[in-house]
Structure 1
Amino acid sequence: MSKGKLQKFAEMETFKNVFQYPFSVISEVPFGMKGSWREQYFHNDNPIVLELGCGKGEYTVGLARVYPDINFIGVDIKGARIYTGARQALEGGLDNVAFLRTSIEVIDRFFGEDEVQEIWLTFSDPQMKNVHKRLTSTFFMERYRRFLVDGGIVHLKTDSNFLFTYTTYMVQANHLPVLYRTEDLYGNTLEGDRAAAHLMDEKTREILGIHTYYENQWIDRGLDIRYMKFRLPQAGVLVEPDIEIELDDYRSYKRPKRSGLTTSR
């Protein structure tokens, strides 16, 4: 680990808005604030929204600035990334922001029943080779159900046609209510499809100005940004869609090169 990362990790130990529980820790020590984030940390009764795979926390911090009456928690396993957003939140005096460094695979160990109102998935790795690692798979959806309110909202914002298509089939197979869906978020709202733009509520419009580090890279490369939000009821058995999906024909930054396969489930 580089000296810079070590310094960031050491500094984060002093950040009051960062909780570090990698799997090696949470497997041994229960998380004391599970079910009581509002009482023990935020000290209010406001809704809680998670950003899973928050990276540098641009969305977590950006949303917290727009909505001071909502509590936001960014989750990522990469501490060096979280450092950026956590420091910005502290310097900006944002008391409605927290960051949790842990594996999303064990996210249900940190939140109690009905404790969270919404989840944001921003530019998640599409995990084209392993369905169980996709953040919109049944593996993760079942975990979200353990702490998301009944009918809570899941937002997906992605450059990946593969992940967006998979999630579309996932939602259809399980009859999940879709509140909004577009394959060209900025084209629909800024230039072209006025009918689609008309369906977008004011809350969604406000967040369009918040771009993540990776989102700006995709936009610079001329890629369309896809967005969907849907409700996740607690009742019913979730099933995986049985369909072959064409793989993305480009490689994301810093991700290993794909195999010669052209489709995946």
Structure 2
Amino acid sequence: MKTILITGAGRRLGKTLAEHYWSLGWRVLAHYNSQCELPDDPRIVRLQADLSDPLAVQALCLQLAGLGPVDAVIHNASCFVPDSAVGAAELGDHVTRHYQVHVSAPVQITAALDNQWTTTASMVVMSDIYAEIPNQRFSVYCASKAALQNWALSMAQRLAGRVRVNVIQPGPVQFLPEHSEEYRQRVLSQSLIRRELGYGAIVQACDFLLAADAMTGTVMRVDGGRFVANRYDQTFNV
């Protein structure tokens, strides 16, 4: 039986990924922060940890050491807070939290698994198209995702011959209930496919990267073409 570790597996995309690999017969090591919506099952191992807390990350790493060989990891856990949500006094904590979740925790978790990778192991890291086209409203988030992506490509070098490491840059694949119709249409107008992709688009990309024996050190955009869409109005009156 293959084993996959997925961080941020309690809800939304992480939950969808966990249920997908569980349905394929994998044992899923499902990390979550505060809420886990996964079903109770012997092949789902729940691992609670607040990745913004260094002590909780250390405890999680110790737990992983006792869970045997690992065939795949998806670093999916994320922190997404606009800069405007914090005042000047909280700015330091705002920066620390994003870098702890997006950089420090994946670094430590990956290091903890160093002796547990199987011979065909693979790792997928969730970055963001914002890592390359930053959004000033989320400057700290964007910077930490860029750091995560750079680290992932370094791991492709360091783990060469042992673990394949690839990056996915999601765009806005699935809207949340609180997103208005106006917001949805505005976002979709900035993509080429111009429809909501859904979490299944990321699942499909993960399936491909985990199985693609010749791919490592790759950055794959799953954004409906938003990265290359012209972000400027091309309609001119002459």
TM range (shorter): 0.3 to 0.5
Q: TM-score, normalised by structure 2?
A: 0.46
Q: TM-score, normalised by structure 1?
A: 0.42
Identify which of structures 1 and 2 has the higher relative contact order when contacts are C-alpha pairs closer than 8 Å and 6+ apart.
Answer: 1
